[in-house]
Structure 1
Amino acid sequence: METMRALDHLVRQGKALYVGISNYPLAQAREAVKILNDLGTPCIIHQPRYSMFERGVEEGLLYFLQTEGIGSIAFSPLAGGQLTDRYLNGIPADSRAASSSRFLQPEQLTPARLEKKNSSA
């Protein structure tokens, strides 16, 4: 609620033209959209995590966004680099997976995921 009020305030001050959200699951997105609509500042875009490995948005979120007239653009469609050839031979020392990234963890780079990626190529 507080975040949506802050976003509404930024639009009303002219510091932002539009409001969008990112990485909200369906229930949280519904709540955010309702709050923004009640405030008179509609949400125009959502950026959910979506890739071959993360398809939860297909379980209602995309339908909800479509029925509300809200655009959607995938966040991390290459799964933090897992769907590229960057990690085929392990984790490079200079990569995000080797650091303390909250979006890509070394334990996500499993043989099963690599197999799934390679079988669809």
Structure 2
Amino acid sequence: MQILKLKDGVDVESLRKYGFKTGKEWAAQGERCFLPEVGMSYQYEWFYVFAMDEEEPEKIAYTSDEFSIPRMQLYVRDRHVCCSCSVEGTYHIDDDDMEPLFTVLFDMITDGILEKAEV
């Protein structure tokens, strides 16, 4: 299987240019998907960028008010770029959620910091 990964020599801190923050930073902002009671602290060092809430653009968009599951996210773990989508109450993620994250991927590819890798 092929995936995208950060090229050798690219500092993970450069992801901040594209809006990525560590899980620990998202937790410090009070984002519920990283709060200690949710049990995601093992992901604190990974870098994330999320689809953001339409009504509160500084907040992550969640599948519902009931669950602490982000609707869509890109994250970098062990230099590998991963994508996760979650839906609830609908059959798909709509383009409004995906467009900002596709833009981030496009910019990273255009800037030449990603490459294909075998897993």
> TM-score if structure 1 supplies the norm length?
0.27
Larger helix fraction of residues:
1
Larger strand fraction of residues:
2
Greater relative CO, 1 or 2 (CA 8 Å, sep 6+): 2
Over alpha carbons, which structure has the higher Rg? 1
